């Protein structure tokens, strides 16, 4: 997907990323899968957002060019976001994948019994794809990047709900997911 795809309202991009294929290039292999769950986060008006209290060193990617990764830590995990906004500030948290590529390599990164637990949830997904802060700012619209997003056919009915785990949410629901998909968290 190109720059124009991400240069739209954050919630539109969050909705349209469902079904797309997220690919992580690692050691000559391609790992990843179909995006089945996302959330939209905004700028100063969003109390749950990392951008809420203004520009810091660690969140500068979120204020920048759409189509770049914004990686940030919570507890001991890394959250993978793609910067997406038209006016203001925003990013889309990728919360879950249905694994389709490099399953063996992902299991090496994140040993787990159940395939279902491989990429269900933002922390698990980042472990399986070996995502950490070093990928902050990577441009996913460039073909040679270590993370890219490929267009893919739609997957099924989309539902929305309040965002997961946030202490202070917005009145509108900003979580989007593919209804009934086993890799959706929660």
Partner DNA sequence: AGGAAGATCTACT
Partner DNA sequence: GTAGATCTTCCTA
Q: How far is the CB of 4 from DNA (least distance, A)?
A: 22
**Is 120 in a helix, a strand, or coil?**
strand
Nearer to DNA, 62 or 106 (CB): 62
Q: How far is the CB of 93 from DNA (least distance, A)?
A: 3
Q: How far is the CB of 165 from DNA (least distance, A)?
A: 2
Nearer to DNA, 82 or 101 (CB): 82
Residues of this chain that interact with DNA (CB under 7 A) are 39, 41, 48-51, 53, 56-59, 62, 72-77, 79, 81, 91, 93, 112, 117, 121-125, 133, 163-167, 185
DSSP state for residue 154 in the 8-state scheme: -
Cα 181 from chain centroid (whole Å): 17
Strands (E), 42-169: 69-74, 77-83, 91-101, 147-150, 158-161
Nearer to DNA, 157 or 168 (CB): 168
Q: How far is the CB of 178 from DNA (least distance, A)?
A: 17
* CB neighbours of residue 69 within 10 Å: 21
Nearer to DNA, 62 or 148 (CB): 62
Length of the chain in terms of residues written? 186
For residue 128, give the H/E element and its range.
helix 122-128
* CB neighbours of residue 75 within 10 Å: 5
Nearer to DNA, 54 or 154 (CB): 54
Q: How far is the CB of 153 from DNA (least distance, A)?
A: 26
């Amino acid at each position: 997907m190109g720059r124009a795809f991400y240069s739209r309202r954050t919630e539109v991009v969050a909705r349209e990323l469902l079904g797309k294929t997220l690919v992580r290039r690692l050691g000559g292999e391609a790992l990843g899968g179909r995006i089945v769950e996302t959330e939209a986060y905004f700028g100063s008006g969003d109390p749950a957002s990392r951008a809420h209290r203004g520009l810091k060193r660690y969140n500068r990617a979120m204020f920048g060019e759409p189509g770049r990764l914004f990686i940030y830590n919570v507890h001991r995990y890394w959250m993978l976001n793609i910067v997406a906004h038209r006016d203001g500030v925003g990013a889309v948290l990728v919360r879950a994948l249905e694994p389709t590529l490099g399953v063996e390599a992902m299991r090496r990164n994140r040993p787990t019994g159940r395939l279902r637990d491989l990429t269900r949830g933002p922390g698990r997904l980042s472990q399986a794809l070996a995502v950490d802060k070093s990928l902050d700012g990577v441009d996913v619209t460039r073909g040679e990047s270590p993370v890219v997003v490929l267009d893919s056919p739609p997957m099924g009915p989309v539902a929305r709900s309040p965002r997961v785990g946030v202490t202070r949410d917005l009145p509108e629901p900003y979580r989007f997911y593919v209804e009934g998909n086993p890799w959706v968290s929660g």
